[in-house]
A and B are shown apart, each in its own frame.
Chain A
């Protein structure tokens, strides 16, 4: 049967694009979660038609099928936990068109986010969503995970820019959702349903995106605080003053400790928190905005403020933010990286809750992230070789997610659920809601072939089987 499958796949995509060797399966067994699950076969598709045909085969054979972009996901979305076919879309990487009159772009799913950004910026346009992985993640992956980034405070996340999609459904049909217009109320909003569906409801094969005019200028500043509370209150104060900066990133003391040695901007010992604030827009208005922000945050214990004048200085400030992730390993070998989100006014409460959890359990928790939209990257740094750590980590996670939900937040802001967070879904959503989602999945993917085992834990109650009313009574 395996040989038959391979022959059929080769007929569709050609010999070079069907990979079956052990080494091929190994190179498609992971994503950024670092977990490893071997697929049975790997297929690289080049067109919607090919995708559709491959899906039809998988559906006929009831074989798991895993769409894969750049494999940079943090929650295991593309991991073949039950084997099957990994369908890679990186070769579908054409920018089909950039419409400068209607401010839209149509792309294939394998286009790398930053590549689109570079191309539209050449035309004076702007595609705002900027996940830290933008230089390598694909737009298909961004759509599937509804990726966000620092700029989302002001500009929103991926879902705010997807106008329409071409989707191959789990049964292999090709459908179109939305379109090229900003307004569209014809039928259900399937576009929104697909965005963030983590490759479980269909495979996006074309994406129509909304673009904006490129902001004329921007200004970046780095502000050092005496206390984390001061920084957290500043965030609320800025938003409270009805100023929406482009980005509002924060780092706590533990984060600063990790980067102090490798950072080109001096961060003294008494600096307990940092905010990176960027504003963009008309050049003349920027200085005024900066002044306004500085006035609003003045009462909150500022140690030092650096305002970038040149592009290089602004780049230097952003470099401080970018070195954070890779520097964390210095504390402890194992990192549990979560991206909870709370209403932005609750950031100070969430930070306090995290400090308490760290103290109660005696673990190091490093926090940084997008304070402006309440999205905090919580990194619990431990050594799993330590006795009893596994059990402890479970409890710590429960507490962290519990605290976020209690503050009316969510257990994931951008990274998605995948396999990593499936077991925490019910902390945030009630059974009725989860089962509603599962019924959608069951209706659209009757054989459960697309990315099975993701988002929903098996243990959730299965929807009751549909009963036909015409069924004769026995």
Chain B
């Protein structure tokens, strides 16, 4: 068999042994905090990983359930004194499970979802169930199919699939000023198919700066949902395609406006046993890029609007664990059309977690619901974030709580300010 470009569990052996069982991760693991069982926390999973390596247990059903109880959010990693990469280790175990038993078994943990009559009422108003028909517009390899398989997500509220996707809306290449670099834009599935307008705004902002923008048509899903469901082969295939897509033109940066994609094509590809470093080194979150380009200063210099919207911020895990927590907030503070307020639990996970919410929708909602008291207390009308996955999940959580708050992308606010 050809050696996989994904790391195997064995490749993680050294870091697995570095867990000192201190239990610090309990304070930061969102699944542990709602489930309160050791199998749900990073320490428990590391113990299982070690036991698998030592042959003390096999891939038994209960182990699979525990391993499925992970959002791969990495919250535990940044607070772990030894930086044990639990999200990576969980990914490796999930790949072992699928390698052993095929993909379908991963779905074994799918919890039966209870219909909620109350919710059905809100549904009509605030969103629609993703119709299988609409999903036809989305490629087979897209993570959207893994994340929101409509059949089993009975009471989830999600937005419509857009009629015209991003690639129908923006050209593949937009020439900018000669003295400015060429930058690539990696859109990701959610922006391409669900929120193409966010992608358009990103491109327009870049255009306004004078850079040339390259949006290769051959780019695909970043692979995070596939990674989360243990489909190592699909991750490899997607990585290869995406790296190839941005080889066709010399770009200085590859910009993302989706935190998960950033974590996927930036962080995860970096760990693969392939030479993607040239690619991964260019990946940059839009907030960091816009700061570098001086947009924050420009925004801060504008006159404050008399009527401002009260906005709070949700930290997407994939940015938080890279330490990108200041830039989005600075951006929101700089915006003339926004009154920024901090909320309690801003940095706790929304609960989406790759494909986690598909298999564990009830837990996923419970994790997200932990943000609600802080959100209410903040008095915000809009909860802005930097990841479309979080937006979908946050809006669902808000709908379930019956609040009148909207979840949106920071780029919408920038676009409004620059209008």
Query: What is A's interface to B at a CB cutoff of 8 Å?
Result: 19, 21-24, 26-34, 44, 70-72, 88, 90-91, 93, 110, 112, 114, 133, 135-137, 325-326, 329
In the complex, A110 Cα to B47 Cα: how many Å?
22
**CA separation between A112 and B51, bound complex, in Å?**
28
Q: Return the chain A residue nearest B38 by Cβ.
A: A27
Note all chain B residues with C-beta closer than 8 A to A33. Answer: 21
Contacts of B26 in A (CB 8 A): 70, 72, 136
Interface of A, secondary structure class, is: loop
Report yes or no: A93 in contact with B20, Cβ–Cβ below 8 A. Answer: no
CB neighbours of B21 from chain A (8 A):
30-34, 71
Asked, given contacts A71-B38, A88-B38, whether A27 binds B47 with beta carbons under 8 Å apart, the answer is yes
Residues of B within 8 A of A22 (CB): 56-57, 60
A27–B39 touching, CB < 8 Å: yes
| Majority SS at the chain B contact face | helix
For B18, give the chain A residue with the smallest CB separation.
Answer: A329
Task: Tell me the smallest distance from the CB of B153 to a CB of chain A, in Å.
Answer: 23
Q: Across the interface, do A133 and B23 meet the contact criterion of CB distance under 8 Å?
A: yes
Size class of B's contact patch?
20 to 34
Q: Within B1-51, which residues are at the interface with A (CB < 8 Å)?
A: 20-24, 26-27, 36-39, 44, 47-48, 51
Q: Provided the pairs A28-B38, A88-B38, A110-B36 are in contact, do residues A23 and B22 lie with their beta carbons within 8 angstroms?
A: no
- Return chain A residues, CB-CB under 8 Å to B48: 23, 26-27
Top 3 A-B residue pairs of the complex, sorted by shortest distance between their CB atoms: A326-B81, A21-B62, A135-B27
Given A34-B21, A72-B22, A136-B27; A26-B57 close (CB under 8 Å): yes
> A31's closest neighbor in chain B, by CB?
B21
Interface contacts beyond A23-B66, A32-B22, A136-B27: sample of 10 additional A-B pairs, CB < 8 Å, sorted by A: A22-B56, A24-B39, A26-B48, A26-B57, A27-B38, A30-B47, A34-B21, A71-B23, A136-B23, A325-B81
**B112 part of interface (Cβ distance < 8 Å):** no
Tell me, yes or no, whether B63 is within 8 Å of chain A by CB.
yes
Distance of A336 Cα from B81 Cα, bound (Å): 17
Q: Give A325's nearest chain B residue, CB to CB.
A: B81
8 Å CB contact of B60 from A23, A112, A137, A326: A23
Query: 24 pairs across A/B with beta carbons < 8 Å?
Result: A19-B39, A23-B60, A23-B62, A23-B63, A26-B48, A26-B56, A27-B38, A27-B48, A27-B66, A31-B21, A31-B23, A33-B21, A70-B23, A71-B23, A71-B38, A88-B38, A90-B36, A93-B36, A133-B23, A133-B24, A135-B27, A136-B23, A136-B24, A326-B81
Chain A's closest residue to B44 (CB) is A27
Q: Which residues of A contact B416 (CB under 8 A)?
A: none
B126: interface (CB < 8 Å): no
Judge whether A21 and B61 touch: CB under 8 Å: yes
- Tell me, yes or no, whether B237 is within 8 Å of chain A by CB: no
CB distance from A251 to the nearest CB of B (A): 17
Determine the distance from Cα of A27 to Cα of B36 in the docked complex, in whole angstroms: 13
Chain B interface residues toward A at CB < 8 A: 20-24, 26-27, 36-39, 44, 47-48, 51, 56-57, 60-63, 66, 81-82
Residues from chain A with a CB closer than 8 A to the CB of B63 are 21, 23
Q: Which residues of A contact B20 (CB under 8 A)?
A: 32, 34
Residues of A within 8 A of B27 (CB): 112, 114, 135-136
A26-B51 contact given A93-B36, A326-B81, A329-B82, CB 8 Å threshold: yes
Interface centre among A29, A110, A326 (most CB of B within 10 A): A326
| 8 Å CB contact of B23 from A19, A72, A325 | A72
Q: Which residues of A contact B39 (CB under 8 A)?
A: 19, 23-24, 27
In the complex where A21-B61, A71-B38, A90-B37 touch, is A32 in contact with B23 (Cβ < 8 A)?
yes
| Cβ–Cβ < 8 Å partners of B82 in chain A | 326, 329
Shortest distance from the beta carbon of B86 to any chain A beta carbon, whole Å: 13
A34 surroundings in chain B (CB, below 8 A): 20-21
Closest chain-A Cβ to B180's Cβ sits at a distance in Å of 36
A24–B67 Cα gap in the complex (Å)?
A: 12
- Please pick, from B24, B36, B56, B61, the residue contacting A135 in the complex, using a CB distance under 8 A: B24
Residue ID in chain A nearest B80 by CB atoms: A326
**Docked-complex contact A26 and B81, CB < 8 angstroms:** no
Of all chain A residues, the one with the shortest Cβ separation from B79 is: A135
CA distance A34 to B20 in the complex (A): 6
- Closest chain-A Cβ to B165's Cβ sits at a distance in Å of 43
**For the complex, what is the distance from the CA of A32 to the CA of B37, rounded to whole Å?**
16
> How far does the Cβ of B270 sit from chain A's closest Cβ, in whole Å?
23
* Shortest distance between the CB of A132 and any CB in chain B (Å): 10
B37 proximity list for chain A (CB < 8 A): 44, 88, 90-91
Q: Which residues of A contact B51 (CB under 8 A)?
A: 23, 26
Bound CA span A22–B48, Å: 10
A354 to B212, CA, bound (A): 66
A26–B43 Cα distance when bound, in Å, is: 11
> Distance in Å from the Cβ of A229 to the closest Cβ of chain B?
30
Chain A min CB distance to B192 (Å): 39
